[in-house]
């Protein structure tokens, strides 16, 4: 196996090797092939460094991820802010809704200390800052969070992405189907993805045909999808990414379903391992 392929496999499967430390019987490395699947770092390498920060994104790139996944909200002054929650309370030393802070105020918050003291002082970043550093180096999967709460956020994302001539390797996703339909209308050359809630029984062939008419990817929690649905999406020309429910067998299930990629934050690692490794 060549060095490039080894690096691509590393991001997902080194975690399986580490499970040996906690008694899980992992399959041999060469048994679980990526088979063309891409690896997506969920909020960066978010079990190694504070989620959605430069440290997490840099670590994911170092570990060989194919894509960095991030979440976007709007600040009070209309800046595209990378953070998962609509409030800053969980991941920073602040309190309140992102939309009630200006960019300058958000930059005053500590986005790393709650994860580990080694990351104290880590800053919240903007989508523009992420693109400045990582565009062209790795794929980017950008999730617009709750777009209905941020009128005009699609236009702001489009305005920013339109500054880049080549949008290959950039995907924008959301749980909001109409928001992604709008994104496709505003910037047809951009790939969009739909995040699906656990109601696949209502995902008829006709519905899949409609969704794949504008969305390149239809993405699922791996527990709420099956091979039949994946096959139907592929037959309509679409692709599928899955994310984990922290079940140790989820990578095997994704492989069996023949999905196109895996979104992971190393949730199946031992709790102590990621912090220890990132500090070495």
Q: How far is CA 121 from the centre of its chain?
A: 23
Q: Which residues does residue 143 pair with via DSSP β-bridges, in sequence order?
A: 71, 173
Q: Is the pLDDT of residue 99 over 60?
A: yes
Active-site residue list: 42, 84
The pLDDT value recorded for residue 63 is 87
Of 13-17, 33-37, 217-221, the least confident: 13-17
Listed in sequence order, the residues at least 6 apart from 192 whose beta carbon sits closer than 8 Å to its beta carbon are: 171, 172, 173, 180, 183, 184, 214, 215, 216, 217
Contact 254, 248 (CB under 8 A): no
Report the pLDDT averaged over residues 178-189. 98
Tens digits of residue pLDDT in 83-93: 999 999 999 99
Q: Is the pLDDT of residue 135 over 70?
A: yes
The crossing angle, in degrees rounded to 10, of helices 153-161 and 177-186 is: 40
Of 122-131, 144-153, 198-207, 261-270, the least confident: 261-270
Binned at pLDDT 50, 70 and 90, residue 254 comes out as confident
The pLDDT value recorded for residue 250 is 76
The pLDDT value recorded for residue 4 is 53
Q: Which of 213 and 33 is assigned the larger pLDDT? A: 213
The pLDDT value recorded for residue 264 is 85
State the Cα–Cα distance between residues 49 and 27, nearest whole angstrom: 27
State the Cα–Cα distance between residues 69 and 127, nearest whole angstrom: 11
Q: What is the mean pLDDT of the chain?
A: 84
Report the pLDDT averaged over residues 260-274. 59
Tens digits of residue pLDDT in 144-173: 999 999 999 999 999 999 999 999 999 999
- DSSP-assigned states of every residue in 208-226: HHHHHTT-SEEEEEGGG--
State the Cα–Cα distance between residues 244 and 221, nearest whole angstrom: 6
Listed in sequence order, the residues at least 6 apart from 117 whose beta carbon sits closer than 8 Å to its beta carbon are: none
Q: Is the pLDDT of residue 183 over 70?
A: yes
Contact 227, 4 (CB under 8 A): no
Q: Is the pLDDT of residue 26 over 80?
A: no
Listed in sequence order, the residues at least 6 apart from 247 whose beta carbon sits closer than 8 Å to its beta carbon are: 222, 223, 268
pTM: 0.84
Q: Which of 37 and 146 is assigned the larger pLDDT? A: 146
Listed in sequence order, the residues at least 6 apart from 114 whose beta carbon sits closer than 8 Å to its beta carbon are: 50, 90, 91, 92, 93
Q: Answer positive or negative: Cα dihedral of 76, 81, 87, 88.
A: negative
């Amino acid at each position: 196996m060549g060095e490039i392929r080894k690096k691509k496999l590393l991001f997902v499967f080194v975690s399986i090797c580490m499970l040996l430390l906690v008694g899980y019987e992992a399959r041999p490395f060469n048994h679980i092939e990526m088979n063309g699947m891409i690896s997506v770092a969920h909020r960066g390498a978010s079990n190694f460094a504070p989620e959605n920060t430069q440290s997490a994104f840099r670590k994911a790139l170092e570990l060989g991820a194919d894509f960095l996944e991030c979440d976007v909200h709007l600040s009070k002054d209309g800046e595209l802010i990378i953070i998962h929650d609509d409030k800053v309370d969980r991941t920073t030393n602040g309190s309140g809704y992102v939309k009630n802070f200006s960019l300058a105020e958000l930059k005053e918050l500590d986005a790393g200390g709650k994860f580990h003291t080694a990351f104290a002082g880590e800053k919240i970043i903007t989508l523009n800052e992420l693109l400045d550093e990582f565009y062209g180096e790795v794929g980017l999967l950008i999730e617009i969070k709750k777009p209905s709460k941020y009128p005009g956020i699609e236009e702001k994302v489009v305005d920013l992405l339109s500054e880049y001539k080549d949008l290959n390797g950039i995907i924008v996703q959301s749980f909001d189907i109409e928001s992604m339909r709008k994104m496709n209308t505003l910037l047809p050359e951009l790939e969009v993805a739909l995040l699906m809630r656990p109601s696949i029984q209502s995902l008829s062939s006709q519905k899949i045909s409609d969704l794949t008419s504008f969305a390149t990817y239809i993405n699922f929690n791996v527990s709420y999808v099956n091979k039949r649905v994946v096959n139907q999406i592929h037959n309509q020309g679409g692709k599928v990414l899955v994310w984990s429910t922290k079940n140790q067998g989820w990578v095997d299930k994704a492989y069996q379903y023949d999905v196109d990629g895996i979104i992971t934050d190393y949730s199946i690692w031992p709790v102590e391992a990621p912090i220890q490794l990132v500090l070495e």
